[in-house]
């Protein structure tokens, strides 16, 4: 249908997407090979769903038969700093994308609206945001004025790195021309230099075993001992490689569609303790914190407090020491060690869970 592409693009902007562009949906063996190689090297850590997605990512027609072109959509989550609410223990940093209620839930209805509009034009469509079997960055790199930066982030010339992506697969034919967007990283290596764990490879791909984002959001169980100090103040996700990027600095805090909440930017750490998983989900189910679940957030909170140079947040460590989840008590045993609080660590020597007792021993030994 003539004009369908322009019509859908206009609607996308009206709905609040700030960057849009069309990409050819044809398979790209070179990108599939990069992905396969990344999976093969183990850099996907425990995210097995990424391996299962390989065949569908490689061929988008398995998700939408007859797919010809993809409308790529970008929306800014570049927020200005939020005020710290009064009360509670508000330590640690949260990645900006989680300062607003879960973006998947916010974008899915907009994708549905685009899909309905497409249907009214006789176009079949299917929307995805984040966890779908779609190489979002690769497609966005073809569709937007942007490129895959040295940090691995898709950098938009207008929005910088703080750009959430979404994709609308359509059975419209491939766009007539696919412009090429030059790499504008130049000699800049700020993102590589700031990463505390060296997670960014020279091939611009991330080793999720080291990435602070993966460790605080996706990793289950105790955090690797040697990486705990390097997590520093990160409670949920990490924005370091995005915030030092000159393209993000230049773009500034321009988010419009997503609205930040100070309570999510600076949560009271005590909220992650003394409640059941069900209560936690009732409070945070609409936010990104629901992914690591209560015990993941409690573990991360303990890590933040353990790393706090001013030793604030003692109450968090006390709550953690008697937490029902052994992973949280294990983190407490480490954190007391960081604080050189020998007496507190000693109390955990007799914990019924062997991993907790072992962590307490290790902490005490490290403390001399």
Enzyme catalytic residues: 130
Size of the site for ligand B12 (CB under 6 A): 39
176: three-class secondary structure by DSSP: coil
The H or E element that residue 51 is part of is helix 49-52
- CB of residue 226 to ligand B12, shortest distance in Å: 18
Q: Tell which positions 15-34 bind ligand B12, by CB under 6 A.
A: 31, 34
Tell the smallest beta-carbon distance from residue 39 to ligand B12 (Å). Answer: 8
Q: By the 8 A CB rule, do 269 and 307 touch?
A: no
Of these, 8, 73, 208, 255, which contacts ligand B12 (CB under 6 A)?
Answer: 208
Nearest distance in Å: CB 272, ligand B12: 18
Phi, psi of 48 (to 5 degrees): -65, -25
Minimum Å distance from CB 357 to ligand B12?
31
Q: What is the nearest approach in angstroms of ligand B12 to the Cβ of residue 79?
A: 12
**Any idea which residue has 């993809």 for tokens?**
70
The Cα diameter of the chain in Å comes to 75
The DSSP secondary structure of 208-240, one letter per residue, reads: TTT-HHHHHHT--SSPPGGGTGGGTTEEES--H
Draw the binding track, 215-234, toward ligand B12 (x: CB under 6 A; -: no contact). Answer: ---x----------------
Hunting for tokens 């050189």 — which residue is that? 340
Residues 235-294 that bind ligand B12 (CB under 6 A): 237-239, 241-242
- For 75, 166, 284, 294, 295, the CA distances from 281, given in Å and listed in that order, are 26, 25, 5, 8, 11
The reply on whether position 211 binds ligand B12 by CB under 6 A is yes
The answer to the question of residue 304 lying near ligand B12 (CB under 6 A) is: no
Q: Which of 286/340 has CB closer to ligand B12?
A: 286
Residue 291, Cβ neighbours under 10 Å: how many? Answer: 16
Mark 86-99 as b/e (b = at least 16 C-beta within 10 Å).
Answer: eeebbbbbbbbbbb
Extract long-range pairs of 186-193: CB within 8 Å, 24+ residues apart.
Answer: 188/150, 188/246, 189/150, 190/244, 190/245, 190/246, 191/149, 191/150, 191/151, 191/153, 191/240, 191/241, 191/242, 191/244, 191/245, 192/150, 192/151, 192/241
Binding mask 134-173 for ligand B12 (x = CB under 6 A): xxxxx--x------x--xxxx------x-xxx--------
**Is residue 35 involved in binding ligand B12 (CB under 6 A)?**
yes
Shorter beta-carbon distance to ligand B12: residue 114 or 356: 114
For ligand B12, which is the closer residue by CB, 237 or 337? 237
Give min distance, CB of 38 to ligand B12, in A. 4
Is 206 or 301 the residue whose CB approaches ligand B12 more closely? 206
Q: By C-beta, is 89 or 238 nearer to ligand B12?
A: 238
213 CB-contact burial (10 Å; exposed 0-12 / middle 13-18 / buried 19+): buried
Instruction: Build a one-symbol-per-residue string for 95-134: x at contacts with ligand B12 by CB under 6 A, - elsewhere.
Output: x-x-------------------------------xxx--x
> Which residues of this chain interact with ligand B12, rule CB under 6 A?
31, 34-35, 38, 47, 50, 95, 97, 129-131, 134-138, 141, 148, 151-154, 161, 163-165, 204-206, 208, 211, 213-214, 218, 237-239, 241-242
């Amino acid at each position: 249908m003539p004009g369908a592409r322009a019509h859908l693009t206009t609607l996308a902007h009206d709905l609040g997407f700030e960057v849009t562009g069309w990409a050819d949906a044809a398979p790209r063996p070179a990108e599939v090979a990069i992905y396969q190689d990344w999976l093969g090297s183990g850099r996907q850590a425990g995210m097995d769903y990424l391996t299962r997605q390989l065949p569908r990512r490689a061929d988008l027609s398995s998700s939408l038969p007859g797919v010809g072109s993809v409308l790529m959509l970008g929306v800014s989550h570049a927020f200005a700093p939020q005020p710290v609410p009064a009360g509670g223990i508000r330590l640690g940093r949260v990645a900006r994308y989680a300062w607003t209620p879960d973006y998947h839930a916010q974008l899915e209805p907009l994708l549905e609206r685009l899909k309905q509009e497409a249907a009214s034009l006789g176009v079949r469509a299917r929307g995805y945001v984040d966890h779908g079997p779609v190489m979002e960055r690769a497609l966005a790199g073809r569709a937007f004025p942007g490129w895959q930066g040295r940090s691995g982030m898709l950098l938009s010339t207008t929005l910088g790195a703080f750009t959430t992506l979404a994709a609308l697969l359509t059975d419209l034919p491939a766009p007539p021309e696919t412009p090429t967007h030059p790499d504008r990283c130049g000699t800049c290596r700020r993102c590589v230099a700031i990463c505390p764990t060296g997670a960014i490879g020279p091939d611009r791909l991330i080793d999720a075993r080291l990435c602070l984002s993966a460790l605080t959001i996706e990793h289950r169980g105790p955090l690797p001992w040697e990486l705990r100090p390097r997590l520093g103040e990160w409670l949920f996700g990490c924005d370091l490689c995005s915030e030092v990027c000159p393209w993000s600095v230049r773009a500034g805090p321009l988010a419009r569609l997503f609205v930040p909440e100070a309570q999510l930017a600076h949560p009271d750490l005590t909220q992650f303790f003394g409640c059941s998983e069900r209560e936690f989900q009732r409070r945070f189910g609409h936010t990104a914190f629901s992914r690591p679940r209560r015990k993941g957030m409690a573990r991360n909170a303990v890590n933040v407090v353990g790393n706090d140079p001013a030793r604030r947040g003692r109450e968090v460590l006390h709550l953690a020491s008697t937490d029902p989840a052994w992973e949280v008590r294990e983190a407490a045993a480490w954190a007391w060690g960081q604080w050189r609080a020998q007496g507190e660590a000693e109390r955990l020597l007799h914990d019924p869970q062997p991993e907790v007792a072992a962590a307490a021993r290790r902490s005490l030994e490290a403390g001399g």
